[in-house]
Amino acid sequence: MLESCDVIRRKIRTFHDSGEMKVGESQNAINVTGNAYSRFMGQNGPRKGLDSSVYDAAWAFFKTRELKGIKMPKKQTPAAAGTASNSGVPHAEGIELDWEREEKVPVFDPCDDIRRKINAHLKFPVVTQAAFLRNIGAQFHPAHRVQSR
């Protein structure tokens, strides 16, 4: 018996949320267009989408994985992603630079590089903008409050 469309949609979402494949990669893997994929994923109901090529291709993809013994990946939750201490997020505590107490540390990176590094840091799932700003404020001596605009 084939699985309902809602079950296939849930499997697709779980598969993407686990990070095993990006949406575009999975569309290529099951050989469907982005438009057809979007239409199928936008529908709701156990029978809505039965005639879609995405349903057939995704069902075959997941059945093949099942027959090969590849288990469905677990959906990552913020708790499973880890805390800041073990998630690969660098910590600034305990690091003191020369001239830091006098607030005269030279900066050699251009502004565009700093923006790129900040954006990359904020992509970590456990880093919020508020936590980032608290960490920035803690680097001042004495500590300052830093707020976004």
Q: What is the pLDDT of residues 93-106, one digit of tens each?
A: 666 777 777 777 78
For residues 101 and 130, membership in a common domain is answered with: yes
Among 16, 47, 67, give the residue marking a domain's end.
Answer: 67
Q: How many CB atoms lie within 10 A of CB 142?
A: 4
In sequence order, the 6+-apart residues with CB closer than 8 A to the CB of 85 are 91
User: What is the value of pTM for the model shown?
Assistant: 0.52
What would the pLDDT profile of 25-48 be if each residue is shown by its tens digit? Answer: 999 999 999 899 999 999 998 999
Give the per-residue pLDDT at 74: 74
Q: Decide: helix, strand or coil at residue 59.
A: helix
Give the per-residue pLDDT at 98: 76
* Domain extent at residue 9: 5-67
Q: Is 72 contained in some domain?
A: no
For residues 103 and 63, membership in a common domain is answered with: no
